[in-house]
A and B are shown apart, each in its own frame.
Chain A
Amino acid sequence: MNKTRFNILFLLALCTISLIAQEECSINIAGKILDESTGDALSYANVFIEESGAGVSTDSTGFFLFEDQCAGHIHISITHIGCEEEYIHIDIERDTTIIIYLDHTHHLIEELDVVGKYEASILEESSEITSQGIKDAQDKSLGDQLQNITGVRVIKKGAGLSKPLVHGLTGNRLTILNNGIAQSGQQWGADHAPEIDPLVAQKISVLKGTGSLEYPGSNLGAVLLVEPSSIKLEPHIHGQLNYSFATNGRGHTINSSIQQHKQNHIAWRFNLTAKKSGDSKTADYFLNNTGVQELNAALQLEKSYGDQWFIDIYASTFNTEIGILRGALIGNLTDLGFALEAEEPFYTEGNFSYAIDAPRQLVSHHLTKLQIRKYVDDDTWLTFKAAFQANNRREFDVRRGGRSTTPALHLLQFTSFTELKYHTNFSNGLALKAGYQYNFIDNNNIAGTGNLPLIPNYVSHEQGLFFNLAKSNELLEYSLGARFDYRYQSVATFPLSGPTELVRYQNKFANVSSIAGIKYLITKRQSLLLNLGWASRNPGINELYSQGLHQGVSGIEEGNIDLGIERSLKASLSYSYDNGQNFQFQALSYLQYIDDYIFLNPTGELRLTIRGSFPVFRYVQTDTRLFGLDLETNIKLSEQLHIEMKYSNVIADDLERDLALIDIPSHNLWSSIQYEVPKVIKLPKARLENLKIELNHEYNARQTRVLESQDFAPTPDAYSLIGLSVTSNIQLGSQRFRSYIRMDNMFNVSYRDYLSRLRYFADDLGRNIVIGSRWSF
């Protein structure tokens, strides 16, 4: 048993061959760089010793050699096209040979386990964004970052307000795990973005298949994981400082992380992010009041006691203020009619501003987590987890009498989560994981808004039991899991009919879910993965009890206390092929039936109020079918030239009414051509490594399946966007940087996206140029 159990990203195997001790500065360091998964030699990898400033590239056999190095601690950085930059730290006393394995093979989709490398794996189609990808796009919110993954789109309401939609499902049908803890906030709102800073993560991944049963909440849709890595053993303090500027919105983003892990000391990492941007711009005009401010911090602590006890503490705070386009705030259908007619949104001003006024959101989310793991032996361990979350959401509307500074909605939610999990590997290759969880939610309206609460106060107690079995042999892997949940919910609300009398509801929900997966390795290069999942979801609090006018959607929304549980049956089948050299292909198809799917249905009734007539929408249930296809391919035309393509489409139907479901994206195709310079470019005082130029094209087809009567306006036209990016690692003296320039919507195209709530009012974003640099120390 050793430390590397926790060091998942520490993908190095070091073997040193000792020779006799030598003079101080005449040491040779030789080595080989190999692909971790195939064992192939990696040529043109750049190896750099920070202490001496010496840099070399590997030859065609992956070999490198440094001569005349001094004894002592040295830090080596290794970069290679298509890999994450890797750092190692070693003590050198004599001539040394090192073999370094890099995680080079590009996995389009891989099956991975949810918590750590040594847990029983759940067979699951998954895609991920790596640390480098996250940090090179640090100006983007979590939702926008996720959009890089095939099959993931976002529902958005301007900058900073984007919600992921995976395989046609969004909101509380998805589970978002922040550091292994299910994010608990006001996920029901279409304009409530996940309150997570993506920059704390070393990896963001999406489990797209039938979900994981390890977490409370909905198991209907995908699981999104935002995971910091464990802290690498390295006695010195190291870190990164990353700054970027985006022209659209004139946004500044600064992120820094520092860490240290001395043997036998507490390992720590601290992460800080600050963002500020102002009015963003379409191709033709500014979008007034669309600024965003963010200040986030996270502290991660890890300590092991002997070989048996591992303790992890994580605390993070996320704080944001987001402006919402002023012209998108409307009073009634007449206003919406005028807004649809107008060329530009109302209140459009000619000048840029960082000011954020009403309508705006002020949201804070705090998380603390404690994890203790005890190893009984190499194959058996117990994990205890406790987490506490506080979510404070304030939304401000434009109001009369100076009330714009009083929140129109103020919700404070606390969530406590405890879990005990047992894991064991039996001698016959069978792995078992089982656990018990208790989740407590206390949701409160904070008085003083001068508005009737949109959703009620409630307390929810949820207990869950689950198990997962996995087994693999040479050609086949199986997994099987089941989960039982019992939730008790106590609700206190004022009904619309008489806002002075309090009504109480007691809800009890019992759910059973199960999944099964099987993976068949057809050949070494091809595999098939089939997943089946049966899951259910309780009606959300807004679906049961929301009431009143939703200004954003210009309708009266009515909850329905008679709603029952949604039940889903999903099958997903994926095929993957990798010829090991220059061609990879992956296809994922899925079919999901959701019985009693809850959605907001226009009742056809127009209700007369003093602000005019409003259509009444009511939550009802229907039977639906979703099916879709995700395709990905990666083609290497030569060592320098690569092509990557991603395609996704979903077809979703209301089977009872024989209509298409709304808010489902149409065909999306993303293609890119990448030119990479494997050789180091030597400048007088600098070296450019891994220079990469990428030209990409994104096409979104028009959603033609939705009838005109299902929407306030016709669905927007198809659009194409071109983007360009240049990235490189730079060695300047003994300092290492990574610099990037990215241009989105290069030709400043005017377009509107079907999934944007602002499409009734304004165009989407025009050209944006992001320039940034990251210094590693």
Chain B
Amino acid sequence: MKNFIYLSLIACALTFTSCDDDPEAENPEELITTVIATFSGDNTNNPTMRFEDKDGDGGMEATIVGGTLSANSSYSVELRFLDESTDDVEEITEEIAEEDDEHQVFLAFSGVNTTWSYSDQDGSGNPLGLSTTVTTGDTGTGTLTITLIHEPEKSASGVSDGDITNAGGETDVEVTFPIVIE
């Protein structure tokens, strides 16, 4: 089929005409439009935070919904990554879970006294980060940044403890949520 396309294009060029001018609409298969972080636990506030940019880069602005967490509490956090650019919503989380050794999620809190740790692993026993445990401290306001790295160097210093500095790789997702601890 491809050879046929090439040949017909050559024929067009030789006759100085363009046979088929139009590019085909591509479906960006790797697009992630939505990040959902579900906080659960035996707490007063159990928020679901959501970052959504359904038309991809540019165009409409993204919507960001942060949340309120309870002070001095423990949460288990589940992350989901979706492609909602078309009506046929795609669950990218599955693709990440399948290639767990090529992905890692990093959390970073700023402005608030909160710690976190991994509660899942990839096939090689290194952290993945689709599930994490978050322990909040005293009240305050700040931000939570969630970063999904493709092809990190998981064995590099500090990376398996959740330090992104030496991870390398490409950032597939980096979203920041406003949070309040009360």
At the interface, yes or no: B32 with Cβ under 8 Å from chain A? yes
Contact A442 B13 (CB under 8 A): yes
At the interface, yes or no: B22 with Cβ under 8 Å from chain A? yes
Contact B9 A338 (CB under 8 A): no
At the interface, yes or no: B14 with Cβ under 8 Å from chain A? yes
Report the nearest B residue to A459, measured CB to CB.
B18
| Most chain B Cβ neighbours within 10 Å, of A446, A551, A610 | A610
Contact A450 to B168, CB < 8 A, known contacts A459-B21, A608-B62: no
Contact B171 A414 (CB under 8 A): no
Q: How far does the Cβ of B80 sit from chain A's closest Cβ, in whole Å? A: 13
Report the nearest A residue to B11, measured CB to CB.
A414
At the interface, yes or no: A259 with Cβ under 8 Å from chain B? no
Cα–Cα, bound, A390→B13 (Å)? 9
Contact A610 B33 (CB under 8 A): yes
At the interface, yes or no: B125 with Cβ under 8 Å from chain A? no
Report the nearest B residue to A413, measured CB to CB.
B13
Q: Which residues of A contact B92 (CB under 8 A)?
A: 400
Which of B39-47, B111-119, B131-139, B172-180 forms contacts with chain A? Answer: B172-180
| Most chain A Cβ neighbours within 10 Å, of B18, B95, B96, B147 | B18
Cα–Cα, bound, A332→B170 (Å)? 7
Report the nearest B residue to A446, measured CB to CB.
B5
Report the nearest A residue to B103, measured CB to CB.
A400
Contact A449 to B53, CB < 8 A, known contacts A331-B172, A346-B168, A440-B16: no
Report the nearest B residue to A547, measured CB to CB.
B58
The proximity string for B residues 8-38 relative to A, scoring 1 for CB distances below 8 Å and 0 otherwise, is: 0110111010101111111111101101000
Contact A332 B14 (CB under 8 A): no
Q: How far does the Cβ of A328 sit from chain B's closest Cβ, in whole Å? A: 11
Cα–Cα, bound, A401→B96 (Å)? 8
Q: Number of A interface residues, CB 8 Å?
A: 62
Q: Which residues of B contact A347 (CB under 8 A)?
A: 153, 168
Contact B26 A453 (CB under 8 A): yes
- State which of A341, A398, A403 has its C-beta within 8 Å of the C-beta of B151: A398
Which of A38-46, A122-130, A470-478, A495-503 forms contacts with chain B? Answer: A495-503
Q: Number of B interface residues, CB 8 Å?
A: 55
Cα–Cα, bound, A442→B151 (Å)? 37
At the interface, yes or no: B91 with Cβ under 8 Å from chain A? no
Name the interface residues of B128-153: CB closer than 8 Å to any CB of A.
147, 149-151, 153
Secondary structure class of chain B's binding surface, majority of residues: loop
| Most chain B Cβ neighbours within 10 Å, of A335, A339, A449 | A335
Contact B57 A548 (CB under 8 A): yes
Contact A610 to B62, CB < 8 A, known contacts A330-B170, A346-B153, A414-B13: yes
Cα–Cα, bound, A334→B148 (Å)? 12
Cα–Cα, bound, A502→B20 (Å)? 13
Contact A450 B62 (CB under 8 A): no
Contact B16 A331 (CB under 8 A): no
The proximity string for B residues 78-117 relative to A, scoring 1 for CB distances below 8 Å and 0 otherwise, is: 0000000000000010011011001000000000000000
Cα–Cα, bound, A609→B12 (Å)? 40
Q: Which residues of B contact A82 (CB under 8 A)?
A: none
Q: Which residues of B contact A500 (CB under 8 A)?
A: 25
Q: How far does the Cβ of A557 sit from chain B's closest Cβ, in whole Å? A: 11
- State which of B23, B96, B169 has its C-beta within 8 Å of the C-beta of A457: B23
Question: Which 7 pairs across A and B sit closest by C-beta, in order of nearness?
Answer: A346-B168, A331-B171, A414-B13, A331-B170, A612-B174, A447-B24, A450-B29
Chain B residues close to A by CB (< 8 Å): 5-6, 9-10, 12-14, 16, 18, 20-30, 32-33, 35, 51, 53, 55-59, 61-62, 92, 95-96, 98-99, 102, 147, 149-151, 153, 164-175
- Show 15 residue pairs from A and B whose CB-CB distance is below 8 angstroms, ordered by the A residue: A342-B168, A400-B30, A412-B9, A414-B12, A414-B13, A416-B13, A440-B16, A442-B9, A448-B26, A461-B16, A494-B25, A502-B22, A607-B57, A610-B33, A610-B173
